[in-house]
Amino acid sequence: MKSTARCAVIASIFGTALMSAGIVAFAADNWPAKPISLVVPFAAGGTTDIIGRTIGQKLGEALRQPVVVDNRPGAGGTLGAANVARAQADGYTFLLATIAHTMAPGIYKTLPYDFTKDLDPIGMVALTPNVLLVNQSIPARSVPELIAYIKAHPGKVNYGSAGIGSTEHLSGELFRSMTGTDIAHVPYKGGAPMMTDLIAGQIQMAIETSPSAAPHVRSGKVKALAVTTAKRSFAYPGVPTLDESGVKGFEVTTWYALMAPRGTPPAIEQRVITELARVLKLPEVQKRFEEQGVTAGDMAPARLAGFIRLETTKWTKVAKDSGATAE
């Protein structure tokens, strides 16, 4: 190739790259120019939905564009995650991920995405205990009494969850394996429909997240026997931990994190990281979280990425030890 021709090719390549970079920079500078979709991978009315709408409203105010909650329930949150992993990485689609997404690799043979490779961590949004709940018809006022009741009625106690692979599912399997009890899993498409059946007595127990559980505990529709965290929760004064109640070593904290499709422009991601940190410090957000028994998150992307890897390892082992699978 002649020197002049080679120079022309090189100039063309670099010109195309510079033009592409310029387009990306322009898009980031003018972002957001339209509403943003926040995919909540569980049904409306559940804990993930409550938290998503709380931060979505405030992020929308900060970014001066609506943040629209898009409920995509199904398959323990994996359908919503797959939707975001496949979305265009232009800053207009985000995922409110949960602990369930680190449980999924242990119970599904295959997934249509890789949670640690196809999504960028933006920040931890919230953390909350799970609460061991029973229907009022169950004559147990403590965890030891519940375990004794289940063992006296093998196969008669069903526990509900927000879906296969959800935090309620794996928490229930962990309880079953650690207590040696015969309980059956009943999956739903979200925490809200599950709670409706728990109150009605269609299922007898659940290890549900705090925001979904709190109003029904306060109203007396269900009984709270224990929380799943290492320490007692401010939202349930007087309610012991499962560890205190004799299930030694039982500890589950449900968490929620904001994620973006891998390849989202760094300038856009940094803008959301900054605004999310500011939103989580707003008094009205902290008050709303406190009412739900939720603690605001405080974890930067790099630390969150490491945390996600540790959680995936932990829950893969729990799934293997308990035999939990998605059929």
Domain-embedded: residue 223: yes
Domain-embedded: residue 10: no
Q: Give the pLDDT confidence score for residue 129 in this predicted structure.
A: 92
Contact residues for 256 (Cβ-Cβ < 8 A; gap 6+): 48, 51, 52, 96, 97, 98, 124, 125, 126, 127, 297
Cα–Cα distance for residue pair 82/75, rounded to 1 Å: 11
Cα–Cα distance for residue pair 172/163, rounded to 1 Å: 12
Cα–Cα distance for residue pair 46/166, rounded to 1 Å: 12
Cα–Cα distance for residue pair 84/64, rounded to 1 Å: 22
Domain-embedded: residue 2: no
State pLDDT tens for residues 291-315: 888 999 999 899 999 999 999 999 9
CATH of the domain at 182: 3.40.190.10
* Shared-domain flag, residues 119 and 267: yes
* Shared-domain flag, residues 283 and 301: yes
* Shared-domain flag, residues 81 and 150: no
Low-confidence ranges of the chain (pLDDT < 50): 11, 17-21, 23-24
Strands (E) located in 214-263: 222-227, 253-261
Q: Give the pLDDT confidence score for residue 251 in this predicted structure.
A: 92
Amino acid at 199: I
* Shared-domain flag, residues 142 and 117: no
Amino acid at 260: A
Cα–Cα distance for residue pair 11/75, rounded to 1 Å: 49
Domain-embedded: residue 273: yes
Q: Which domain holds residue 73?
A: 35-127+253-322
Domain-embedded: residue 1: no
CA nearest neighbour of 38 among 48, 28, 52: 52
130: left (phi over 0), alpha (psi -120 to 50) or beta: beta
Domain-embedded: residue 295: yes
> Are 273 and 301 within 8 A, CB to CB?
yes
* Shared-domain flag, residues 82 and 99: yes
Query: Which residue, of 185, 209, 227, is where some domain finishes?
Result: 227
Residue 127: HSE in the Cβ half-sphere, 13 Å Cα cutoff: 13
Go through 35-58 and write b for each residue having 16 or more CB atoms within 10 A of its CB, e for each that does not: ebbbbbbbbebbbbbbbbbbbbbb
- For residue 293, what are the CA distances in angstroms to 11, 17, 20, 263, 273? 59, 50, 46, 34, 24
13: left (phi over 0), alpha (psi -120 to 50) or beta: alpha
* Shared-domain flag, residues 134 and 115: no
* Shared-domain flag, residues 71 and 205: no
Number of domains making up the chain = 2
State pLDDT tens for residues 150-176: 999 999 999 999 888 888 999 999 999
* Shared-domain flag, residues 135 and 220: yes
Domain-embedded: residue 44: yes
* Shared-domain flag, residues 122 and 39: yes
Residue 80, judged by CB atoms within 10 A of its CB (0-12, 13-18, 19+), counts as buried
Query: Which residue, of 209, 227, 245, is where some domain finishes?
Result: 227
Query: Which residue, of 192, 227, 262, is where some domain finishes?
Result: 227
CATH of the domain at 107: 3.40.190.150
* Shared-domain flag, residues 133 and 122: no
Domain-embedded: residue 286: yes
* Shared-domain flag, residues 158 and 84: no
Q: Give the pLDDT confidence score for residue 12 in this predicted structure.
A: 58
* Shared-domain flag, residues 120 and 259: yes
